[in-house]
């Protein structure tokens, strides 16, 4: 019998503070009524004030977690977050190809908002070689898109050029996220190699934006797992993250987590 629930896998690091990483991803999957599974790449000691410790897992441990869930439970979509190093990246690419995982969202996490490196230097450029050619959608923020393309992204024209370059690297589509723009709307640029779409929301003046990128990419993966088209998945993920930032939880003394329940307020489910 075919499974009755969509299944999504996050391949990412653990954030002990619960705002980013696999914790944010699994909360998002659950809220969007998708069965969530995880393959952990690293454990971080982290809270709203910063990252206090990083412990990378052996690549073999990542491989075995992916084997375990794919071979038994099945995966309709996967997303990657913190990958830590090239060896883990190679394992992920090998497994995604070997199992022909149908939808892959690559969030090219490089640096946390608190300024800690979550992917070592040599692995940053290896992303292009190993993971972008496998991506259904890749979701860089502006600094990450600058690292991938070498461009300075201080205008919409430059962001469009970067999006074209990223499609040229093999990704099927890209969203250059606008959270790091200096002012104006929180404007994300989507490109699928044919058409550009701009997804805008008000920009909220809040320190509680820890894990926005993780939550956004997990929501895209959840909607892809349910069989939605890429642009539709991205639009719904944008609505999900906008609600999560609009209604903060006010936790912690620094950059607090977003509110994964908030979409229920908009949908009248709360
Ligand atoms: N202050 C904000 N107000 C509204 N939306 C935001 C804000 N900050 C980020 N976003 C949105 O959150 C999502 C994640 O973006 P971003 O913060 O750039 O990613 P990352 O966490 O990877 O740095 C995007 O859709 C972006 O537009
Ligand atoms: C374990 C872990 N993974 C990813 C991140 C980065 O998350 P992101 O959504 O990009 O949010 P910020 O760190 O920018 O707030 C992380 N911090 N920890």
DSSP 18-59: SSSHHHHHHHHHHHTT-EEEEEEEEEEEEETTEEEEEEEPPH
Which pLDDT value is given to residue 270? 63
User: Which ligand 2 atom is the nearest neighbour of the CA of 213?
Assistant: 9
Cβ(201) – ligand 1 distance below 6 Å: yes
The answer to whether residue 213 is catalytic is yes
Identify the H or E element spanning 225: helix 212-225
Catalytic residue among 10, 28, 136, 209: 209
Residue 124 CA: distances (Å) to CA of 48, 60, 119, 142, 213: 25, 21, 7, 14, 17
According to the model, what pLDDT value does residue 121 have? 81
Does residue 21 have its Cβ closer than 6 Å to ligand 2?
A: yes
Kindly report the protein residue whose alpha carbon is nearest to atom 6 of ligand 2: 112
pLDDT tens-place values along the chain, 270 residues long: 777 899 999 999 999 999 999 999 999 999 999 999 999 999 999 999 999 999 999 999 999 999 999 999 999 999 999 999 999 999 999 999 999 999 999 999 998 888 888 888 888 888 999 999 999 999 999 999 999 999 999 999 999 999 999 999 999 999 999 999 988 999 999 999 999 999 999 999 999 999 999 999 999 999 999 999 999 999 999 999 999 999 999 999 999 999 999 999 977 766
Report yes or no for ipTM above 0.95: yes
* Residue among 11, 25, 113, 208 to mutate when testing ligand 2 (max atoms within 8 A of CB): 113
How far is 25 from 184, CA to CA, in rounded Å? Answer: 28
DSSP E strands in the chain: the ranges are: 7-15, 35-47, 50-56, 77-80, 104-106, 137-138, 174-176, 186-191, 196-201
Angle subtended at Cα 112 by Cα 226 and Cα 199, rounded to the nearest 5 degrees: 45
Nearest to 70 by CA among 95, 91, 94, 87: 95
Quote the pLDDT of residue 116. 85
The pLDDT value given to residue 124: 83
User: Tell me, what's the pLDDT at 122?
Assistant: 83
Annotated catalytic residue 184: no
pTM value > 0.90: yes
**What is the per-residue pLDDT for 86?**
95
Q: Which of 211, 238, 242, 256 is catalytic?
A: 211
Ligand 2 pocket residue status of 113, Cβ below 6 Å? yes
Quick one: pLDDT at residue 112?
85
Q: Is the CB of 213 under 6 A from ligand 1?
A: yes
* 206: annotated active-site residue: no
Take residue 121 and report the two structure tokens written for it: 């230097």
Helices first, then strands: H and E counts in the chain: 9, 9
Ligand 1 closest atom vs CA 241: 12
Distance 110 CA to ligand 2 centre (A): 9
* Active site annotation includes 209: yes
Phi, psi of 150 (to 5 degrees): 75, 5
Residue 10 alpha carbon to ligand 2 centre in Å: 13
Which ligand places an atom closest to the C-alpha of 256?
Answer: 2
Q: What is the pLDDT of residue 118?
A: 87
CB-ligand 1 contact for 238 (6 Å cutoff): yes
CB-ligand 2 contact for 109 (6 Å cutoff)? yes
Q: For residue 165, what are its two tokens?
A: 């370059």
Top CATH class of 7-265 equals alpha beta
């Amino acid at each position: 019998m075919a499974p009755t629930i969509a299944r999504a896998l996050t391949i990412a690091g653990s954030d002990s503070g619960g705002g980013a990483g696999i914790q944010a991803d699994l909360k998002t999957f659950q809220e969007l009524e998708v069965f969530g599974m995880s393959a952990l790449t690293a454990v971080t000691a982290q809270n709203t004030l910063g990252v206090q410790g990083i412990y990378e897992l052996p690549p073999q441990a990542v491989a075995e977690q992916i084997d375990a869930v794919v071979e038994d439970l099945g995966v309709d979509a996967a997303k990657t977050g913190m990958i830590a190093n090239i060896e883990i990246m190679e394992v992920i690419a090998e497994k995604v190809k070997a199992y022909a995982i149908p939808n892959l969202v690559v969030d090219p996490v490089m640096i946390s908002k608190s300024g800690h490196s979550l992917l070592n230097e040599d692995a940053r450029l290896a992303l292009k070689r190993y993971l972008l050619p496998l991506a259904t959608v890749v979701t860089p923020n502006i600094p990450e898109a600058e690292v991938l393309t070498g461009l300075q992204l201080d205008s919409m024209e430059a962001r469009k050029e970067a999006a074209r370059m990223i499609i040229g690297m093999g990704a099927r589509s890209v969203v250059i996220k606008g959270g790091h723009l200096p002012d104006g709307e929180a404007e994300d640029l989507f490109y699928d190699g044919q058409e550009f779409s701009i997804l805008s929301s008000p920009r909220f003046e809040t320190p509680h934006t820890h894990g926005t990128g993780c939550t956004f990419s997990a929501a895209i993966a959840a909607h892809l797992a349910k069989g939605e088209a890429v642009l539709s998945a991205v639009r719904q993920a944008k609505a999900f993250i906008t609600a999560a930032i609009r209604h903060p939880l006010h936790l912690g003394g620094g950059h607090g987590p977003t509110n994964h329940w908030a979409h229920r307020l908009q949908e009248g489910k709360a």
